[in-house]
Amino acid sequence: MTAAPSPWWRGAAVYQVYVRSFRDGNGDGQGDFAGLISKLDYIASLGVDAIWLSPIHPSPNRDWGYDVADYDGVHPDYGTLQDFAALAEAAHARGLKIILDEVLAHTSDEHAWFAASRDGDKQDWYVWADPRDDGTVPNNWLSVFGGPAWSYQPARRQYYHHKFLRQQPKLNWMQPQAREAALSVLDTWLGRGVDGFRLDVANAFLHDTALRDNPAIPAAGRGPQEWSAAANMQRHLNDSNLEENRALLDVVRRRVEAFDDRFVFGEFSEEFERSGCYLDSATGLHAGYNFALLYATDAAAIRDHLQTLARFPDHWPCIAFSNHDVTRTASRFGEASARVMLALLATLRGTILLYQGEELGLPEVTLRRDQLKDPVGDLYYPLFKGRDGCRTPMPWDAQAPNLGFGSGTPWLPPGEAHAALAVSQQESDPASALAYTRALMGARKAHPALHHGELTLLEGPLAFVRDSGAERIVCVFNLGEHAITQALPGPVQPLAFGTGESGVVGTTLTLGPRSAFFGLLQGL
C-alpha cells in the first residue's frame, strides 16, 4: 500500500508579507493587493510555497491591523474583496498558497460586537468586571503594552479587559456564541479559498473566569526587559495561557480541517508549553512558533531552543528568526551574518517563515520619534523605539523614488541603507543574499532530509544532522567572529550550498567566521 503523501505545509517555506509595506500599486503611500500581485513572480522565484499576509481586515490601525473592526471585509487601503479574490487567484496560478493572519483573541473597540457588548445584546461577549469598591481595577493583570490590562467604560460602570492596547478589548471565548462567531470567521475565509491561517497570540484565547491575580516573577528570574518591563514582572497564568487553551486549539484545528488541504499554525507569546505551543498536530494546531528564536542573539540561545524542541518529537514547529514584531535578524546577529542565518533557517526542521526583506539581508531601520507609527515605540521612546524599524517599505529599485515602493509618500520612510541591498542591486549578483536564498530554497526541496527529515543535535556550538531514510546531512554553523573546529559523526561529501570558508580533514571540520557547512554523510 502506498503511504499517504505528507500535507503540503510539512516542510514548506512560507514568505511573510507585511502588506502595507510591500508594494504600493496606486500611489497612496500604502502597500496594497495590486502592488502585491505585481510582485508575485518575484515571490515565486524565491522557491517558497506560501504567502502569509499580515492582517487584511478593516481596522482603525491603532495597532496596524491587529485591531480588527470587521472580519468580513478587507481594509480599503489594500483594495476590495474583488481585488483580494484576484490576488488569491493569481497566487494559486503560480503554485503559491495564501495564509491569512487572523486576530481572534481580541477585536477593535470599533467592532460592532463590542458596541453591542457595551449597551446591546452581546453583554457577555467580552471580558467585563466590576471595579473594586474604590473604583480601581479588578485585579493586577498588566497589559503587554504598558499599564493595567483594564479600561473603565462608564456606560456599563465596569472595566473591560485588554491584553494589549485599550482599543483592543478581549473577546470572551468562554461565551459560546462569541466563540462560535470567532470560529465562523475561519469558515468564511476558507470558503473564499484561502489555504490557512496564522493565529495571532494563540495562547491568549481563554482567561481565568475567577479573575485571580497573576503571580509575581521573583526578581532573580526576570529576563531582559522587552517592551513593557512591568508586564514582565508577572507570570501571565490567569489573563491568558490557561492549560485549557490546549483543548481549544484542537477545536480550532478541526474547524479548519473541515475544509480539504488547509493549514493552521499559531503564535505563542508566553508560557509556550503550558498554553499548547508544543502539542503534536493530532491534538493541537498543525504547528506553532514562539518568540524564543525571534529574540535570539547568539548560537547558545538557538541551541537551547532546539533542545527544547527535541523534548517534543511529535510536535511540528514553525521556525522564524524575523517578523513584523522584532528587530531584523541581520541587526540582531550582525549584517555580516545575514547569509549564515539564512542558511540556518533553510535547514532547520519545521515549516520555515521568511519575513519580507530577510532574503535581502536587510538590517533594522532607525527612525526619529516623529516618524514612528507604532504605539509601543511612541510610549517607550527612546529606550525602545518600537517595531517600525522592521516594517519599513520593501526596497525594490535603488534608482527609483522611494526605492521603487510606489510613487506616493510611503507611510514609513524607506531605509537609506536599504538602497544598496535593493532587489535591483541583487538580482544580477550571483554572490548576493537574494541569490543565496534561492539556492537554499532549491536545496531544501531537493533534499528530503532538509525538507521533512528528523533533526539530531551534535556536540558543539551549533551543529546537527538532518536525516530521512538513506539521506543524512550534517549541518554546522559558526555565528562567531573566529574560526571553529567541529567533530563530524563520519566522513562527508561537502554540499555546494554552504557559505564562507571551510575545510575537512578526516572527520574534523574547520569552519570560518559567520559560515555554514553542509555535508552528505557517507557509508552510514
pLDDT tens by residue, 188-213: 999 999 999 999 999 999 999 999 99
Integer angstrom CA distances of residue 25 from 89, 232, 335, 383: 18, 41, 30, 35
The residue ranges of every structural domain in the chain are: 13-108+173-441, 453-521
pLDDT given for residue 3 in this prediction: 57
Weakest mean pLDDT among 196-200, 314-318, 382-386: 382-386
- Reported in sequence order, the residue ranges of 32-174 that DSSP labels E, i.e. its strands, are 50-53, 97-102, 128-129, 150-153, 158-161
Read off the pLDDT of residues 76-110 as tens digits, 9 standing for 90 and up: 999 999 999 999 999 999 999 999 999 999 999 99
Task: Check: pTM over 0.75? Answer yes or no.
Answer: yes
Q: Say yes or no: do domains 13-108+173-441 and 453-521 share a fold.
A: no
Average of pLDDT values for 432-436?
98
pLDDT given for residue 282 in this prediction: 87
Which amino acid, residue 236?
Answer: H
Within 13 Å of residue 390, how many CA atoms lie on the same side as its CB? 23
Whether the Cβ atoms of residue 158 and residue 130 lie closer than 8 Å to each other: yes
pLDDT given for residue 383 in this prediction: 86
- Reported in sequence order, the residue ranges of 162-283 that DSSP labels E, i.e. its strands, are 196-199, 263-268
pLDDT given for residue 219 in this prediction: 81
Q: Residue 435: what are its φ and ψ, rounded to 5°? A: -60, -40
Beta bridge partners of 148: 142
Residues 400-415: b if buried by 16+ CB within 10 A, e if exposed: eebbbbbeeebbbebb
As to burial, measured by CB atoms within 10 angstroms (0-12 exposed, 13-18 middle, 19+ buried), residue 314 is: exposed
For β-strands 508-511 and 502-505, DSSP reports them as antiparallel
Question: Does position 255 have pLDDT exceeding 50, yes or no?
Answer: yes
Beta bridge partners of 486: 509
524 pLDDT band, cuts 50/70/90, is low
Whether the Cβ atoms of residue 397 and residue 424 lie closer than 8 Å to each other: yes
Q: Which residues are part of the catalytic machinery?
A: 200, 267
Q: Check residues 157 and 4 and name the one with the higher pLDDT.
A: 157
Q: Residue 383: count other Cβ atoms within 10 Å of its Cβ.
A: 8
Question: Does position 2 have pLDDT exceeding 70, yes or no?
Answer: no
- pLDDT, the chain, mean: 96
Contacts of 120 (CB under 8 A, 6+ apart): none
Range list of H helices, 212-328:
245-257, 272-275, 299-310
Instruction: Return the CATH number of 453-521, one of 3.90.226.10, 2.60.40.1180, 3.30.1360.70, 3.40.50.12280.
Output: 2.60.40.1180
489 pLDDT band, cuts 50/70/90, is very high
5 pLDDT band, cuts 50/70/90, is confident
Read off the pLDDT of residues 444-480 as tens digits, 9 standing for 90 and up: 999 999 999 999 999 999 999 999 989 999 999 999 9
Closest of 356, 414, 328 to residue 36, by C-alpha: 356
State percent of the chain over pLDDT 90: 94
Q: Which fold has domain 13-108+173-441?
A: TIM Barrel (3.20.20)
Residue reference for cell 533553510: 346
1 pLDDT band, cuts 50/70/90, is very low
Average of pLDDT values for 336-359?
98
| Helix, strand, or coil (residue 416) | helix
Residue 465: its H or E element: strand 463-468
pLDDT given for residue 403 in this prediction: 98
pLDDT given for residue 228 in this prediction: 53
Question: Does position 294 have pLDDT exceeding 90, yes or no?
Answer: yes
Read off the pLDDT of residues 22-54 as tens digits, 9 standing for 90 and up: 999 999 999 999 999 999 999 999 999 999 999
Whether the Cβ atoms of residue 265 and residue 285 lie closer than 8 Å to each other: yes
pLDDT given for residue 302 in this prediction: 98
226 pLDDT band, cuts 50/70/90, is low
